[in-house]
């Protein structure tokens, strides 16, 4: 199994998001807790379309785009 995935609660691969350089550990822990909560809340939701990927993937992708757009700030 590649090192950049883990098996999530739906037994499907999910990307592991690694902290950016310079992010404080306490902030990274907040991000992980929020992602964990979102994954639990949305565990049975799927995206519309042919892929039917887990909805949490979309939430994490958007979070990454926002973080990149504001250089990882709040």
Q: Give the Cα separation of 39 and 30 in Å (integer).
A: 14
Please say if the pLDDT value at position 7 is more than 50: no
Query: How many folded domains does the chain comprise?
Result: 1
Q: Kindly report, residue by residue over 50-62, the tens digit of the pLDDT.
A: 788 888 888 888 8
62: CB partners within 8 A, 6+ apart: none
Beta bridge partners, 54, equal 46
User: Residue 4: its pLDDT value, please?
Assistant: 44
Residue 40 lies in a domain: yes
Q: Does 10 fall in a domain?
A: yes
Of the listed ranges 2-6, 9-13, 25-29, 64-68, the least confidently predicted one is: 2-6
pLDDT at 68: 76
Range of the domain at 24: 5-69
74 lies in some domain:
no
pLDDT tens digits, residue range 10-52?
A: 545 455 556 666 677 787 788 888 888 888 898 888 988 878 8
């Amino acid at each position: 199994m590649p090192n950049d995935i883990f098996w999530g609660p739906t037994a499907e691969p999910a990307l592991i998001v690694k902290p950016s350089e310079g992010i404080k550990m306490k902030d990274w822990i907040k991000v992980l807790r929020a992602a964990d909560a979102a994954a639990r809340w949305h565990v049975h939701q799927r995206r519309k379309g042919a892929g039917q990927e887990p909805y949490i993937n979309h939430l994490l992708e958007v979070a990454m785009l926002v973080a990149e757009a504001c250089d990882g700030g709040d």
